[in-house]
Amino acid sequence: MTELGSGGALRLPRARVVPMSAPPATYTTAVERYLTGAGIAKSSARIYRISLTTWGWMFAGERAPTGPARRGAKPPLLLVAAIDDPVLPEALAELAAARADEMDADTVNRELSIARKAIGWWQRQGWIEGDPTVGIERRPAPPDRTKALAENRIAALWRLDVGLREKTQWKMLYESAARADEVLCLNVEDLYPQDKRGKITAKGGATEWIHWQSGTAQLLPRLIARRTRGPLFLTDRKAPAGTPTLDVCPETGRARLSYRRAEEIFEENTRLLANPLASPEDIEDLDSWTLHRLRHSALTPDAEGGTSTPMLLARSRHTSVRSLERYARPGVDAVARHVAERDAAGAEPCVGASPFPASSDAGNGGASISGAETTGSTAGPEVGGELMNVAEATAVCSARRTILTSRALV
């Protein structure tokens, strides 16, 4: 039946979508059907699966575990039909608010966006009718202008005592400016060591190249050893039953290193670097660096150094110039150099010269400049074997300042 809506307009009742295929019984199956049916790229599927697993707990009315408690935790068994429970939106809003208090805004917003994409796809399949996330709003996420690490922080990272796997992975992320999930999806057969490049599946599913430098090239042979195929970065243990074949090394039986575990290892090892003034007792409660900051740390200096826009687009593999804005801002080292070059008090001192005129002193009838004895009130220091007067010394200082200013402007 038709109904009268606001303003007297006719409003047709919402038609029920006829399922295009038999709806899956469980939420986990629905997630996998979405990842394959919606054509989510392999490099993105891991992030999508992690986010949707998080929502699986909340759809079941439970808080999602965080930190070490998340590793190996299995979400509760959930029927797809439970997503249409009329009481779920209210409970879900409370759970989402609690998670937003624990996680950063970018993570929460990304998870919400992925959940809504999956829900929309399930609705189009006719598996569910409603969207329990309708009342949940995105969190404000002020931009972080400190993502590009300073040169001394990067140098400190390379000095950490970590395993070969981590050394190679971090070097490759930094030298290639690739996304972490793209590098973790690399297989041994995707590498072209002699050309210092590899073939990755980029965001959106495109096949593209990443290029690295000598640091990665020196570590890769030791990491690969005699392997000829399978995931490049492996876990330390055998793959558990049920692991997808593509994520298992056929020669060692070990599984592909997950994004979540790689991020945990990086955060654990860089927490002290990120908080150099913290005490070891308090370090566990403090924030750390993320793998994505290695990408920022590579691209920002490129932009500062005058790398052309086409080259930055190719290196970052962004598709729009607007996406490069986050890297075009000068980094911490560039700003520090800019300030130092204009620091009058910290400028290069004039050897043996002073910009101030000599003042008479009751003790000797004329002040000494830089401790040098003078023969009169207008005498200056001895430079290069010759005695300069105050006017000459002031002129030298002025000339040197002009040169420093010119260098800074260049």
Q: Percent helix, strand, coil in the chain (nearest 5)?
A: 50, 10, 40
Q: What is the average pLDDT across 65-82?
A: 81
Select, from the ranges 40-49, 59-68, 243-252, the one with the highest average predicted confidence (pLDDT). 243-252
Cα 296 to chain center, whole Å?
6
Q: How far apart are CA 32 and CA 39, in angstroms?
A: 11
Asked if the model's pLDDT at residue 18 lies above 90, the reply is no
Contact at 8 Å (CB) between 340 and 313? Answer: no
Ranges 256-270, 281-295, 322-336, 348-362: which has the least confidence: 348-362
- Top pLDDT among 283 and 64 is at 64
Select, from the ranges 29-43, 227-241, 277-291, the one with the highest average predicted confidence (pLDDT). 227-241
- Top pLDDT among 132 and 379 is at 132
Token pair recorded at residue 238: 């055998």
pLDDT tens digits, residue range 353-367? Answer: 444 444 444 444 443
Contact at 8 Å (CB) between 79 and 25? Answer: yes
> pLDDT at position 76, please?
84
> pLDDT at position 218, please?
96
pLDDT tens digits, residue range 261-273? Answer: 999 999 999 988 9
**CA distance readout (Å), 370 to 218, 383, 387, 388:** 53, 12, 13, 12
Q: What is the average pLDDT across 128-149?
A: 83
Q: How far apart are CA 351 and CA 27, in angstroms?
A: 76
Strands 10-11 and 234-238: unpaired
Closest listed residue to residue 208, CA positions, set 43, 321, 37, 38: 43
pLDDT tens digits, residue range 305-323? Answer: 888 888 988 888 888 887 7
> pLDDT at position 252, please?
94
Percent of the chain scoring above 70 in pLDDT: 77
Asked if the model's pLDDT at residue 88 lies above 80, the reply is yes
Ranges 83-87, 249-253, 404-408: which has the least confidence: 404-408
Contact partners, residue 270, CB within 8 Å, separation at least 6: 157, 160, 288, 289
Bridge partners (DSSP) of residue 256 are 234
What band does 287 get if pLDDT is binned at 50, 70 and 90? Answer: confident
What band does 116 get if pLDDT is binned at 50, 70 and 90? Answer: very high
What band does 219 get if pLDDT is binned at 50, 70 and 90? Answer: very high
Q: What values do phi and psi take at 298, rounded to 5?
A: -90, -40
Kindly tell me the burial class for residue 409, based on how many C-beta atoms sit within 10 Å of its own C-beta (0-12, 13-18, 19 or more). exposed
Q: How far apart are CA 217 and CA 172, in angstroms?
A: 9
> pLDDT at position 143, please?
65
Q: What values do phi and psi take at 389, rounded to 5?
A: -85, 175
pLDDT, the chain, mean: 80
Contact partners, residue 209, CB within 8 Å, separation at least 6: 197, 198, 199, 200
pTM of the model: 0.59
Ranges 32-36, 247-251, 328-332, 376-380: which has the least confidence: 376-380
**DSSP per residue over 193-222, as a string?**
GGGTEEEEE-TTS-EEEEE--HHHHHHHHH
> pLDDT at position 70, please?
73
> pLDDT at position 52, please?
93
Q: What is the average pLDDT across 376-403?
A: 47
Q: How far apart are CA 76 and CA 53, in angstroms?
A: 10
H or E element at residue 353: none
Asked if the model's pLDDT at residue 402 lies above 90, the reply is no
> pLDDT at position 393, please?
47
Select, from the ranges 20-29, 246-255, 295-304, 310-319, the one with the highest average predicted confidence (pLDDT). 246-255
